[in-house]
Amino acid sequence: MMKKVSGLFAFRRRPKDISADVTEDNSESPDPLKFLGAEVNFRDTQEEIRKNLQLIIRIRWFVSPSILLIMTLAGVFGVAAQTGFTAEQLAINGINMGLMLVLNMVYLVASRRAKNLGPLVLFQLVIDIIQFSFTIYRTGAITSPFTFLYFFVIFSGALLVSGRTAFLMAGLASVSFIGVVAAEYTGLIPHQPYFSPLAGMQDNPAYSALTMAFTVISLYAFAALAGFLTSLIHRRQRQLQQTVSLLKERNETMMMLYRTSEALNRHTDVDEVGAFILDELMQFLDLDRALLYLNEDNRVLRLALVRTRGGGTDTSVKLEIPIEEDAGLTARVALEQKAYNIRDPENSPLINRELAKKIGLNPFAMAPLVLRGRTVGVIGIDRSFKPVGNEEFQILRAFANQAAIAIDSVRSGGR
């Protein structure tokens, strides 16, 4: 005959206060599937940066050719200072465009191989500002309509890094633009006129001051807008990713519950059903051990099965726990039909220290198997490398009720 001892996870006397390491089911009407509506939080930063960087790179393929096309059309329609490019201008613009395309190819290859994308992103943004500043200088500097190209760099900084980076790029772009205009104004570099409707405006101080002020203000205003919009995009992107992941987990949970129900059609023995149920639970939650206690005539809880990692069965521990108020935590779970999650068993007053020396002291959780108000048994799970999480605890509770139906059906059929 089996010796009656306190349970695997048990205490001698019921304490007045539950320690903080215990998560107890205190709801008047337990809802084991409440976890299906859990809130979500989430983000994979490097993966997001990689995807967004490759999007920016694809857009950049069209930037330099589009600029060259606009300059050509300006000459064709007579709004440029000349109808065509000189050999020198063709060489300079061709080299500039070729360099941008070569760099774009380098960025594309590096974005797929680099593990830390931060330096690559910052290098690309700075090079873009330099390249666009050169284009602006070649098309009139203060009279150039291409200052909008800085918006592309600002938006890229906000999308790839953060809103602060957008403001940093706005600052660098402002300094570059004002530097080019100042260098022209002081005679350090010659003026490069291109668009004829604005010819001579660079000599108008009021126009120059107004244009610089408007450009700088617009760059910072766009940085604020880009930071807000990209932050909103990131949040929506993270929520979408987390929702997809959450739905996948919920689907896997439902499939596990479905397979448990299907076990009724394949097994007619309590041990077979119990082993199937515990193995499913262990695999899904990545546990070290799962235990099944069965209610024997409302007198004792018998340890019917212990499954261990790898699908093994532990037959070294034989227990019968009286279903009495002072018999331990396992009996309490059966009597009160409440689940417990013990995260810190070392400091918990609920633990039977003598028994713990024999079977170990991992963080564990227990849930009653309840069917129509009757306790069929108790499931206990434990794991050495981390405590059972709240999400996993809710899964255990839902799974325990499903297991109760399976086990009770098999036991009833064998009577």
Domain shared by 178 and 60, yes or no: yes
Q: What percent of the chain has pLDDT over 90?
A: 15
Quote the pLDDT of residue 354.
61
Confirm whether 251 is domain-assigned. no
Domain shared by 125 and 175, yes or no: yes
Residue with tokens 């390491």: 21
- Domain hosting 215: range is 45-243
Rounded Cα distance between 125 and 289, Å, is: 53
Domain shared by 74 and 214, yes or no: yes
Do 328 and 7 contact (CB within 8 A), yes or no? yes
Domain shared by 217 and 97, yes or no: yes
Quote the pLDDT of residue 166.
92
Confirm whether 258 is domain-assigned. no
pLDDT at residue 221 above 60?
yes
**What pLDDT, in 10s, does the model give residues 34-68?**
433 433 332 346 777 788 788 888 887 888 778 77
Domain shared by 238 and 380, yes or no: no
Helix, strand, coil tally for the chain in percent (to 5): 60, 10, 30
Domain shared by 165 and 271, yes or no: no
Which range, 36-40, 149-153, 313-317, is most confident?
A: 149-153
End-of-domain residue from the set 243, 276, 297: 243
Angle at 27 between CA 21 and CA 28, to 5 degrees: 145
Helix axis angle for 270-285 and 205-266, nearest 10°, is 170
Domain shared by 97 and 168, yes or no: yes
Domain shared by 54 and 189, yes or no: yes
Confirm whether 8 is domain-assigned. no
Quote the pLDDT of residue 34.
45
Confirm whether 276 is domain-assigned. yes
Tell me the pLDDT band of 245, cut-offs 50, 70 and 90: confident
Q: Which residues pair with 22 in a beta bridge?
A: 342
Quote the pLDDT of residue 152.
92
End-of-domain residue from the set 188, 209, 243: 243
Quote the pLDDT of residue 352.
59
**What pLDDT, in 10s, does the model give residues 258-273?**
766 666 566 667 777 8
Q: Which of 358, 380, 361 is nearest to 369 (CA)?
A: 380
pLDDT at residue 226 above 90?
yes
Quote the pLDDT of residue 89.
61
Quote the pLDDT of residue 7.
41
Across 90-99, 141-150, 240-249, 367-376, least confident range: 90-99
The overall average pLDDT reported for the chain is 78
Tell me the two tokens of residue 232.
């909103």
Average pLDDT over residues 20-33: 47
Average pLDDT over residues 208-225: 95
Tell me the pLDDT band of 86, cut-offs 50, 70 and 90: low
| Alpha carbon separation from 124 to 106, 117, 149, 169 (Å, rounded) | 10, 11, 14, 11
Rounded Cα distance between 151 and 148, Å, is: 5
Domain shared by 281 and 388, yes or no: yes
User: Which of 318 and 41 is assigned the larger pLDDT?
Assistant: 318
User: Which of 225 and 145 is assigned the larger pLDDT?
Assistant: 225
pLDDT at residue 84 above 60?
no
pLDDT at residue 414 above 70?
no
End-of-domain residue from the set 195, 210, 243: 243
Domain shared by 228 and 357, yes or no: no
**Residue 325's CATH number:** 3.30.450.40
Confirm whether 3 is domain-assigned. no
Average pLDDT over residues 101-110: 80
**What pLDDT, in 10s, does the model give residues 326-382?**
777 888 888 989 998 888 777 766 665 665 665 567 788 889 999 888 899 999 888
Across 211-225, 367-381, 382-396, least confident range: 382-396
The DSSP symbol for 343 reads S
Domain shared by 203 and 323, yes or no: no
What domain count does the chain have?
2
Confirm whether 36 is domain-assigned. no
Domain shared by 226 and 321, yes or no: no
Confirm whether 254 is domain-assigned. no
User: Which of 93 and 163 is assigned the larger pLDDT?
Assistant: 163
HSE at residue 271, side-chain half, CA atoms within 13 A, is 5
Average pLDDT over residues 149-166: 90
Quote the pLDDT of residue 82.
61
The H or E element containing residue 56 is: helix 45-76
Tell me the pLDDT band of 225, cut-offs 50, 70 and 90: very high
Quote the pLDDT of residue 215.
95
Confirm whether 400 is domain-assigned. yes
Helix axis angle for 149-160 and 118-138, nearest 10°, is 170
pTM: 0.54
